[in-house]
Structure 1
């Protein structure tokens, strides 16, 4: 692969955006390579979590504006290009395993959207987030219309989208965009530590939690889903083994890593 690196180690996958000349901009080639990786993860049930990060001191600077300027597409062509993006982005957001974004430097435009597609965002103090689309006369994409209001609320999401202002690392934590900050030298290790904890979690329970949170819905629908989901989880070997570990005073197999 020319624009990303992908590795699987001890059931944790790590996808690294790596195109230094463009600060890891989402070029068509990079989008195709990410799409291939997402399909690989969907098929490989041994992969229990995914970490997404960027090389070269940045996460992702957004869309590749040079490519956009020379693409020569008409309205239908741009729509088809967006739909191709959505094919893998939908699968990434709905992935039934945890996704952790490790953000250093710029997460701008579609790069911000890619970070928001993760379940958890870990950032460094020098991380910078921006819904930058309005600066070039565009509307947010890469799922931002869906993800950002769910994280920061409708009013703040509109402010960030319409101001196109930069959000620093500390504000990102206050807004709930980032879960925690880590020094640059610790960033990837911390993200992989969190990912590794899910190797010992119930795959079914993780999947059901993600589905429930994504679905939203009214109280009655959520309680109905909760009943169905818990009944399924109660029948798994992971649950039964965990109960026996507890009764036998053995340490739990699943443990979220300490900060």
Structure 2
């Protein structure tokens, strides 16, 4: 079974991260995800992409048990996979909307920052970047994404305190545009992706907006290859 289920809804590809109860990440999943997202980037759907999670969670981030079990070679593979996956999301030429359906922890927050628009379902769950608490410092590409897309004061608060935010609090931090009733989350996310991608200048404006960050990401990947 693939970790990334896809559905074509009127020209918009819905990508659903699927891995057990908490949708945690591991090197196999990240490598599969990087390849899947890169393929979508090479043939971008006319209605853009919606990224969400299966079940009650968007993703609870890296599987800490898997991370603790990795030897040095495994750690290097995991870091490379995280960098490639985040880079693939960030480089997508079409509209990317995150439909956050539940807890978005650690890498989940980075995935949100890669998006062009973020809707979060209303509910009692948390969003944040508790890598300091987990003992998993940010790899280079996620750090570059943080540096470019999260306001400095919130970057400091979230990264150093490991504080977690409610969905409505994440709006104030710049991590979420609006909260949506859970039953409407996917439909509204698909509509937003289609609306954004239909703009004649969307692709050119996105390239301009992301040029500096993408150049930095390219340099990171080149230096680590």
Corresponding residue for residue 18 of structure 1: 18
Corresponding residue for residue 210 of structure 2: 214
Work out which of the residue numbers 111, 114, 119 in structure 2 matches 1:114. 111
Corresponding residue for residue 90 of structure 1: 87
Structure label with greater radius of gyration: 1
Corresponding residue for residue 57 of structure 1: 56
Instruction: Name whichever of 157-166 and 190-199 sits farther off.
Output: 190-199
Corresponding residue for residue 229 of structure 1: none
Output the TM-score relative to the length of structure 1.
Answer: 0.74
Inter-CA distance 65–142: structure 2 relative to 1 (3 Å threshold): farther
Corresponding residue for residue 97 of structure 2: 100
Higher relative CO (Cα under 8 Å, sequence separation at least 6) belongs to 2
CA offsets 1:141-186 (integer angstroms, 9 cap, x no match): 4844233343442222111100001111111111221001101111
Question: Is residue 81 from structure 1 mapped to residue 85 from structure 2 by the alignment?
Answer: no
**How much is the aligned-residue C-alpha RMSD, in angstroms?**
2.1
Alignment of 1:148-167 (within 5 A): 148-167=146-165
Helix, strand or coil: the match of 1:97? Answer: coil
| Aligned-partner Cα distance in 2 for 1:104–1:46 | 22
CA offsets 1:9-67 (integer angstroms, 9 cap, x no match): 3221111012233x101122321321232122123244441100011111000001121
- Maintained 8 Å contact 2:44/2:93: no
Question: Is residue 4 from structure 1 mapped to residue 4 from structure 2 by the alignment?
Answer: yes
Inter-CA distance 113–180: structure 2 relative to 1 (3 Å threshold): same
Question: Is residue 196 from structure 1 mapped to residue 194 from structure 2 by the alignment?
Answer: yes
Inter-CA distance 84–165: structure 2 relative to 1 (3 Å threshold): same
| Aligned-partner Cα distance in 1 for 2:128–2:90 | 20
- Report the CA distance between 1:79 and its aligned residue: 2.9
Aligned length: 212
Mark the runs of 5 or more structure 1 residues left unpaired by the alignment.
218-259
Helix, strand or coil: the match of 1:176? Answer: coil
Mark the runs of 5 or more structure 2 residues left unpaired by the alignment.
214-225
Work out which of the residue numbers 163, 178, 181 in structure 2 matches 1:180. 178
Helix, strand or coil: the match of 1:181? Answer: strand
Helix, strand or coil: the match of 2:104? Answer: strand
- Maintained 8 Å contact 2:119/2:178: yes
- Maintained 8 Å contact 1:110/1:142: no
Helix, strand or coil: the match of 2:118? Answer: strand
- Maintained 8 Å contact 2:53/2:59: yes
Question: Is residue 31 from structure 1 mapped to residue 30 from structure 2 by the alignment?
Answer: yes
Helix, strand or coil: the match of 2:58? Answer: coil
